Amino acid sequence: MKNNKTRHAPKSTSRPAARKDRSVERGEGPPKAAHASAPHKQRPAEPTAPQEQRKLEIRAGERPAERVPLILESVAAGDFHLIDSGDGLKLEKYGPYRIVRPEAQALWPRALPAHVWDAADAIFTGDTEEDGMGRWRFPREALGETWPLSLLDIDFLGRFTSFRHVGVFPEQIAHWTWLKQTIEARKQPTKVLNLFGYTGVASLVAASAGAEVTHVDASKKAIGWARENQQLSRLDKAPIRWICEDAMKFIQREERRGNRYDIILTDPPKFGRGPNGEVWHLFEHLPAMLDICREILSPNAAGLVLTAYSIRASFYSIHELMRETMRGKRGAVESGELVIRETGLDGKTPGRVLSTSLFSRWVPK
């Protein structure tokens, strides 16, 4: 179908040259955007095939407890930090490079002086919409298409894509940290399904923690990028299945076959169009997708995580959907926003917080 995050190029219904509010297949650019009343991010669209309307009925049982609002904050980590933001832009550090990109959520003035911003190595110019294509300008010297990065001990490639994204969405660090800690704490075999897996960083975090991972993305470019990242992270022998397929088709088949997963991550685009004209609309198809995800959770499941970019909605909309979906499962649904905090030029000076996306997460306790 990734992240019209267009969560980000090839974000699978899919994402690696980019992704998010994915109106374009994830392999042709990058990815996801945000919603009006909440965060934003984007990646190139992951095509998703239309599915037959699944009949949804109110499930029996009590709804899970709720924890809202929950703000999951990511700060400087590994090769990334948010230096400054403002005036509709953000200044970030990815490894050796300072990068300027549009950021509609940054309504405030910039905190750092102009000469800091003027020293950027790469600036994205073009369409101001998250799913709009544009080009990179390199004010100081021409840079290569890719460069090495590392987060949470996972090595991967950054890439300048035509959709402004670089192959990773650092606000997801909060989810990846939870994922790693949850897998390690289980002390038992854990099967993880990563839908709309994009460039595979989450899949590699899960595999490095000891999980058996199934990574699904509809973009061949995204899968290729993810495999490159697997080699860079020296996880060639890790139990990861890379599946290039429409996400809905895949989970429908898994349901029929009776396959189950202990943790499911799903990061769907707002809109996606598949190779054969199939259409995915988040508001139309998300309820059915979550319904199937519930069915393929194992009896001893540890979590179901949904991230939503580029939508005009409150986090409460996906929060209530998740609680209805998980009726009778006990546990709790915690929902809110993913945010990134500025940390200045040194990566250590706390500043303002930039909202990036909505999320909802069911956990068994």
Phi and psi, residue 215, nearest 5°: -110, 125
Measured torsion, CA atoms of residues 266, 271, 275, 276, in degrees rounded to the nearest 10: 110
Residue count of the chain, please give it: 365
Q: What angle do CA 72, 280, 293 make, to 5 degrees?
A: 55
pLDDT in tens, 118-159: 999 999 987 555 555 789 999 999 999 999 999 999 999 999
Of 106, 145, 134, 123, residue with least CA distance to 6: 134
- pLDDT by residue for the chain (365 residues), tens digit each? 443 344 444 434 433 333 333 333 333 333 333 333 333 344 444 444 445 678 898 899 999 999 999 999 999 999 999 999 999 999 999 999 999 999 999 999 999 999 999 999 999 987 555 555 789 999 999 999 999 999 999 999 999 998 889 999 999 999 999 999 999 999 999 999 999 999 999 999 999 999 999 999 988 999 999 999 999 999 999 999 999 998 999 999 999 999 999 999 999 988 876 545 667 789 999 999 999 999 999 999 999 999 998 777 899 999 999 999 999 999 999 999 999 999 999 999 999 999 999 999 999 99
263 vs 265: CA distance, rounded Å = 7
Report d(CA 154, CA 304) in Å as an integer.
22
**E strands, 170-315, where?**
191-195, 212-217, 240-244, 263-266, 271-273, 279-281, 303-308
Let me know: does 334 contact 364? Beta carbons within 8 Å: no
CA distance 224 to 237: 16
User: What is the pLDDT at residue 55?
Assistant: 85
Question: Residue 364, preceding bond cis, omega within 30 degrees?
Answer: no
Q: What is the pLDDT of residue 3?
A: 39
Question: Which is it for the CA torsion 222, 1, 73, 321, positive or negative?
Answer: negative
| Predicted TM-score of the model (pTM) | 0.85
What does residue 337 show for φ and ψ, rounded to 5 degrees?
-130, 150
H or E segment to which residue 117 belongs = helix 114-118
Q: Show the tokens assigned to 65.
A: 């407890």
pLDDT tens digits for 18-27?
Answer: 333 333 333 3
What is the rounded average pLDDT for all residues in the chain?
86
CA–CA separation, 333 vs 323, rounded Å? 6
Q: Quote the pLDDT of residue 271.
A: 82
Q: Is 320 helix (H, G, I), strand (E, B) or coil?
A: helix
Instruction: Let me know: does 285 contact 51? Beta carbons within 8 Å.
Output: yes
Cα angle 78, 80, 86 (rounded to 5 degrees) comes to 155
Q: Quickly list DSSP for 283-312.
A: HHHHHHHHHHHHHTB-TT--EEEEEE-S-S
**Residues in Cβ contact with 18 at an 8 Å cutoff, skipping those fewer than 6 apart:** 6, 8, 9, 10, 11, 26, 28, 29, 30, 31, 43, 44, 159, 161, 162, 163, 164, 165, 167
DSSP 27: T
Q: Tell me the longest C-alpha to C-alpha distance in the chain.
A: 61
pLDDT of residue 91: 98
